[in-house]
Amino acid sequence: MSTRNENPSGAAEPMIGATGLTKQYGRSQALRGASVTLRAGEILAVTGASGSGKSTLLHCLAGIVRPDEGEVSYGRERLDRASENRLSELRRTDFGVVFQFGQLIPELTVRDNVMLPLLLAGTDRAAAQDRADEWLERFGVRGQAALRPGELSGGQGQRVALARAWVTGPKAVFADEPTGALDSLAGEQVMTALVHAARESGAAVLLITHDAQIAAYADREVWLRDGAVHSGATPFAVQEAAHHEG
Ligand SMILES: Nc1ncnc2c1ncn2[C@@H]1O[C@H](COP(=O)(O)OP(=O)(O)O)[C@@H](O)[C@H]1O
Ligand SMILES: [Mg+2]
């Protein structure tokens, strides 16, 4: 199945475009004129040292944080100007988010965690359960459906988080260091599952990572330094800085 959205020239269309983003937190300037485009169906890796603004950029693109200045466009819609209601609607329907850890609700079973976004979007329980089980199966954690998050390995937990991000059929998935807390084997399993899901669903993925081996799964890579986005070969100094903080 290919739902990739390509224009006649063969280049995937921009889906989310950000230009000139700035964001200040107290005295720290997290973004200083960051611009980036996420194209339909692509996996875009964003690398950079700790504190370079990667998470802030992701939050701005996903409509979680509003930039101080600059534009974020999702198709024809301006996310930097959208209402809170519209942004939370988009996060329920069009966007999925995966963080490094801690995003599953510990009191709920794995299956209930994955059903939750569907229930919030108004899907009935039986359909939500079927869909949740289908995505758990695809991510290889169907057998863990009745467990609580605390009973999972790190890699299983991240695959459940991916299932939850994909269960609503998002157009874009934002993953902030999804393998950052995993050993390399579990990290590879998570990435293989992520790439499969992206290709099958046609969703675009913005993937933040410190790890060059993880970035290698992406179609394209950009890097951040001091709150601005750069493309082309990642300078050795940036690779080193990213590598050393693990
Ligand atoms: N919610 C926040 N409150 C205060 N400072 C923040 C917040 N988020 C980010 N920052 C600061 O902004 C800068 C960029 O942070 P961040 O986007 O998290 O970078 P990265 O993900 O690359 O490590 C850092 O100096 C960080 O301390
Ligand atoms: Mg971060």
The CA 116 to ligand 2 mean position distance, Å, reads: 25
4 alpha carbon to ligand 1 midpoint, in Å?
A: 33
pLDDT in tens, 9-58: 556 788 999 999 999 999 999 999 999 999 999 999 999 999 999 999 99
Determine whether the shortest distance from the Cβ of 52 to ligand 1 is under 6 A.
yes
Cβ 209 vs Cβ 176: under 8 Å: no
Low-confidence stretches of the chain (pLDDT beneath 70): 1-11, 233-246
Within 10 angstroms of residue 202's Cβ, the number of other Cβ atoms is: 15
Quick one: pLDDT at residue 242? 62
**pLDDT (0 to 100) of residue 2:** 44
At 231 the pLDDT is 87
Q: Which residues pair with 72 in a beta bridge?
A: 18
Question: Is there an atom of ligand 1 within 6 Å of 53 CB?
Answer: yes
Q: What are the residues whose beta carbon lies below 5 Å from ligand 2 (ion)?
A: 54-55
What pTM was computed for the model? 0.91
Q: Cα dihedral sign for 82, 86, 91, 95?
A: negative
At 186, the amino acid letter reads: A
**Contact predicate 81/73, CB 8 Å:** no
Residue 9 to residue 143: CA distance in whole angstroms: 44
Specify the pLDDT at position 241: 64
pLDDT of residue 245: 54
pLDDT of residue 6: 46
